[in-house]
Amino acid sequence: MTQIFNFSAGPAVLPKEVLQQAAHDMLDWHGSGMSVMEMSHRGPEFSSIHRQAMIDLRELLNVPANYKILFQQGGGLGQNAIVPLNLAGRRPDPVIDFVHTGTWSGKSAKEAARFARVNIAASSEPDHFTRVPARDTWRLSDDASYLHICTNETIDGVEYPDAPDVPADLPIVADMSSHILSRQIDISKYGVIFAGAQKNIGPAGLTLVIVREDLLDFASPQCPSAFHWKTCAEHDSLYNTPPTYAIYIAGLVFAWLKQRGGVAAMEAINIEKARLLYAALDADDFYANRVDPAYRSRMNIPFYLRDESLNEQFLAGAKERGLLQLKGHKSVGGMRASIYNAMPIEGVQALVDYLNTFAGR
Ligand code: PMP
The answer to the question of whether 240 is labelled as a binding residue is yes
In the chain, pLDDT over 70 holds for what percent of residues? 100
Instruction: Report whether 205 contacts 346 (CB < 8 A).
Output: no
pLDDT at residue number 87: 98
pLDDT at residue number 2: 87
Which atom number of ligand 1 is nearest to the Cα of residue 150? 3
Cα 177 to middle of ligand 1, angstroms: 6
pLDDT at residue number 55: 98
Cα 77 to middle of ligand 1, angstroms: 6
337's enclosing H/E stretch is strand 335-338
Angle between helices 44-61 and 262-282 (to 10 degrees): 60
pLDDT at 54 over 90: yes
pLDDT tens, residue by residue, 20-52: 999 999 999 999 999 999 999 999 999 999 999
3 state SS of 327: strand
Give the chain's domains with CATH numbers: 17-259 (3.40.640.10), 261-358 (3.90.1150.10)
pLDDT at residue number 295: 98
pLDDT tens, residue by residue, 270-293: 999 999 999 999 999 999 999 999
Active site residues: 104, 175, 199
Given pLDDT bands bounded at 50, 70 and 90, which one contains residue 82? very high
Which atom number of ligand 1 is nearest to the Cα of residue 154? 5
Please spell the DSSP secondary structure of 195-222, one letter per residue: EESTTTTSSTT-EEEEEEGGGTT---TT
pLDDT at 351 over 80: yes
Spell out which residues line ligand 1, taking CB within 6 angstroms.
10, 75-77, 104, 150, 154, 175, 177-178, 196
- Average the pLDDT over 81-96 and give the result: 98
pLDDT tens, residue by residue, 103-152: 999 999 999 999 999 999 999 999 999 999 999 999 999 999 999 999 99
3 state SS of 144: coil
pLDDT at 323 over 80: yes
Instruction: Report whether 291 contacts 299 (CB < 8 A).
Output: no
Question: Residue 11: is the preceding peptide bond cis (ω within 30°)?
Answer: yes
Residue type, 320: E
- Average the pLDDT over 65-90 and give the result: 98
Please spell the DSSP secondary structure of 97-116, one letter per residue: EEEE-SHHHHHHHHHHTTTS
What is d(CA 305, CA 333) in angstroms, rounded to the nearest whole number? Answer: 10
Cα 358 to middle of ligand 1, angstroms: 31
Mutation choice for ligand 1 from 77, 149, 152, CB with most ligand atoms inside 8 A: 77
Residue nearest ligand 1's atom 6 by CA: 76
Instruction: Report whether 157 contacts 73 (CB < 8 A).
Output: no
The answer to the question of whether 130 is labelled as a binding residue is no
pLDDT at 213 over 80: yes
- Residue 167 backbone class (left: φ over 0; alpha: ψ -120 to 50; beta: rest): beta
- How buried is residue 330: exposed, middle or buried, by Cβ count under 10 Å (0-12/13-18/19+)? exposed
The answer to the question of whether 104 is labelled as a binding residue is yes
The answer to the question of whether 175 is labelled as a binding residue is yes
What is d(CA 229, CA 210) in angstroms, rounded to the nearest whole number? Answer: 10
Helices (H), the chain: 16-25, 44-61, 75-87, 103-112, 229-234, 244-259, 262-282, 311-320, 345-358
Mean pLDDT score across all residues of the chain: 98
> How long, in residues, is the chain?
361
Given pLDDT bands bounded at 50, 70 and 90, which one contains residue 1? confident
pLDDT at 200 over 80: yes
Cα 196 to middle of ligand 1, angstroms: 6
